Amino acid sequence: MDERGLHRLIGTIIAPEHLEDDCAVVPCADRLMVVSTDMLHETTDFPAGMTDWQAGWMAVAVTLSDVASMGAAPGQVLLAVGLDRPERLRGIMEGARDCCAAFGAELVGGDLDAHSELTLVSTGIGWVEPGYLVRRRGARPGDAVAVTGRLGEAQAALNGWEQHRRELLEPQPRVREGQALARAGVSAMMDISDGLALSLYDLLAVNDCGFAIDTARLPLPAGVPVEEGRLLALYGGGDFELLFCAPQGVVPVAGVEAHVIGEVIDERVVLADGEPLEPRGYLHEWSG
Ligand SMILES: Nc1ncnc2c1ncn2[C@@H]1O[C@H](COP(=O)(O)OP(=O)(O)OP(=O)(O)O)[C@@H](O)[C@H]1O
Ligand SMILES: Cc1ncc(C[n+]2csc(CCOP(=O)(O)O)c2C)c(N)n1
Ligand SMILES: [Mg+2]
Ligand SMILES: [Mg+2]
Ligand SMILES: [Mg+2]
């Protein structure tokens, strides 16, 4: 059983539309509040050699990435810390505070307990005017499919490409880009945490159309052989770039580094170079 299968179970217990987006959306006077929470554990999320400051940074970055993917401006963050050793707390809190400060958020609370494995749960709140909210649903046939930044860099570092360690350990949520894309009129957006392929299937699940990408157009990690780079870009996790669809004429958006990698098609399939793309990537799995 994997994460996506269990999400379907959750969707039989709470309203399934609550599982459709990177954040929950809560009307709040004349604005919308978006909220995301994410849990990281030492063994699955903190690679060997990561500092405590970087663990705190990453915990906030992954949540601000979800906020960014809705087109929202980050506001407040809470950080719950399941702490294995007290001497780690200062570095973790400073990393979390610094990531908040770098992206215009404020760390305003959290929780603390003792735990055998370092566990960080960050909750991020963002704010957006109703007209600029972007969801995963909304893609239309003929839209361009595009991504910010480059893909596969975090997984490249895990594969030993040392020049990409910074991207793995200190992910930069595309907060400014998310808001600029929303204002420019993109039709659907999400962040890529588990790899491009799984993200395209996540978009497929909530749209009435499909996606055809051209692997020659993928922005690959620098300094990695093209064949390996292409696999990293398609299936590697931990990138935290934005994947979006845009009506013709919307891209390029001023100030946003993005690459068009394909287009939205009528048929409800995900194609890469004309062939069905394997739904493979970074997935939490349970045995049995
Ligand atoms: N235990 C849960 N209860 C309710 N909703 C959940 C639960 N776990 C996940 N969700 C919801 O399911 C959707 C997908 O969650 P998921 O964690 O895969 O997204 P993400 O945070 O964008 O990705 P990642 O965790 O890889 O960064 C989100 O809307 C999330 O709020
Ligand atoms: C040991 C280790 N392996 C991989 C990564 C890269 N990484 C960070 S978050 C994530 C997936 C989404 O997270 P989740 O679904 O758990 O929220 C991935 C693949 C890492 N930081 N450490
Ligand atoms: Mg997300
Ligand atoms: Mg999550
Ligand atoms: Mg995940």
Q: What is the pLDDT of residues 74-121, one digit of tens each?
A: 999 999 999 999 999 999 999 999 999 999 999 999 999 999 999 999
Average pLDDT, the chain: 98
Handedness of CA 75, 33, 111, 239 (dihedral sign): negative
Residue 47, ligand 2, Cβ within 6 A: yes
* Strand-by-strand arrangement of the 210-213 sheet: 188-192, 241-246, 144-148, 258-265, 210-213, 270-272, 275-276
Q: Which residue numbers belong to the known binding site for substrate?
A: 45, 282
The three-class DSSP label of residue 224 is: coil
Portion of the chain with pLDDT greater than 90, in percent: 98
Contact 252, 168 (CB under 8 A): no
The three-class DSSP label of residue 177 is: helix
Distance 182 CA to ligand 3 centre (A): 16
Q: Running DSSP on this structure, what letter comes out for residue 121?
A: E
Please report the domains of the chain, with CATH numbers, ordered by start residue. Answer: 22-131 (3.30.1330.10), 134-276 (3.90.650.10)
102 φ/ψ angles, rounded to the nearest 5 degrees: -65, -25
Distance 249 CA to ligand 2 centre (A): 34
Distance 29 CA to ligand 5 centre (A): 31
Confidence of residue 47 (pLDDT cuts 50, 70, 90): very high
Per-residue pLDDT tens over the stretch 259-288 = 999 999 999 999 999 999 999 999 998 986
Residue 161, ligand 2, Cβ within 6 A: no
Residue 194, ligand 2, Cβ within 6 A: yes
Question: How far is 161 from 166, CA to CA, in rounded Å?
Answer: 11
Measured CA distances, 124 to 79, 146, 177, 229 (Å): 9, 25, 17, 32
Contact 197, 257 (CB under 8 A): no
Torsion angle, CA of 211/185/151/38, rounded to 10 degrees?
-100
Contact 56, 49 (CB under 8 A): no
Atom 28 of ligand 1: nearest residue by CA position: 19
* Cβ count near 72 (within 10 Å): 32
Both tokens of residue 282? 């970074």
Query: How much is the pLDDT for 106?
Result: 98
Contact 124, 77 (CB under 8 A): yes
Confidence of residue 1 (pLDDT cuts 50, 70, 90): confident
Per-chain residues with Cβ under 5 A from ion ligand 3: 22, 66, 191
Residue 167, ligand 2, Cβ within 6 A: no
Query: How much is the pLDDT for 287?
Result: 82
In 3D space, the residue among 172, 136, 156 whose CA is nearest the CA of residue 233 turns out to be 156
Atom 3 of ligand 2: nearest residue by CA position: 45
Distance 274 CA to ligand 4 centre (A): 30
Residue 238, ligand 2, Cβ within 6 A: yes
Q: Which residue numbers belong to the known binding site for ATP?
A: 110-111, 136, 193
In 3D space, the residue among 242, 194, 252 whose CA is nearest the CA of residue 68 turns out to be 242
Query: How much is the pLDDT for 51?
Result: 98
Question: How far is 149 from 128, CA to CA, in rounded Å?
Answer: 23
Distance 95 CA to ligand 2 centre (A): 17
Task: Specify the ligand 1 atom closest to the Cα of 23.
Answer: 29
Q: Which amino acid is at 112?
A: L
Task: Specify the ligand 1 atom closest to the Cα of 194.
Answer: 26
Distance 190 CA to ligand 5 centre (A): 12
For helices 52-69 and 89-102, give the axis angle rounded to 10 degrees: 30
Number of H helices, E strands in the chain: 9, 12
